[in-house]
Amino acid sequence: RKEVEQDPGPFNVPEGATVAFNCTYSNSASQSFFWYRQDCRKEPKLLMSVYSSGNEDGRFTAQLNRASQYISLLIRDSKLSDSATYLCVVRTGTASKLTFGTGTRLQVTL
């Protein structure tokens, strides 16, 4: 079983739609959780951290379910500029060693 699993997509949604991605992780000792965004042929950039109580940043909402070991990302009112690959990232142990999922590709269309 992969340490971090994501549906690769692509998710094709029209502008203005709401879309949700899920991610599961295998190590119950994982401590920190993140969503990174990666544009085509670019480096990953932090989108948001994911907290146990859930957190929101504008149109983006992240949730963590430790019991079921999954993380979700909800994007409301999708924009063309949201088209990218979204990487689910988990930290387990010290030294900030991160484990990356393979990513979920989102394509927002007119």
Partner 1 sequence: NAGVTQTPKFRILKIGQSMTLQCTQDMNHNYMYWYRQDPGMGLKLIYYSVGAGITDKGEVPNGYNVSRSTTEDFPLRLELAAPSQTSVYFCASSYSGTGSEQYFGPGTRLTVT
Verify binding: residue 39, partner 1, rule CB under 8 A. Answer: no
Q: Which of 42, 59, 66, 79 binds partner 1 (CB under 8 A)?
A: 42
Question: Rounded to whole angstroms, how far apart are CA atoms 28 and 83?
Answer: 31
**45 or 59: CB nearest partner 1:** 45
Nearer to partner 1, 8 or 16 (CB): 8
| Interface residue with partner 1, options 46, 56, 59, 65 (CB under 8 A) | 46
Which one of the spans 17-25, 56-64, 67-75, 88-96 is the region binding partner 1 (CB under 8 A)? 88-96
Q: Give the whole-angstrom CA distance, residue 64 versus residue 77.
A: 21
Backbone angles phi, psi at 55, to 5 degrees: -150, 155
The DSSP line for 56-86 is: EETTEEEEEETTTTEEEEEE-S--GGG-EEE
- The yes or no reply on residue 31 touching partner 1 (CB under 8 A) is yes
**Which tokens hold the place of 109?**
């269309």
DSSP reduced 3-state for 99: strand
Binding residues (CB under 8 A) for partner 1: these are 4, 8, 31-32, 42-46, 49, 87, 91, 94-103
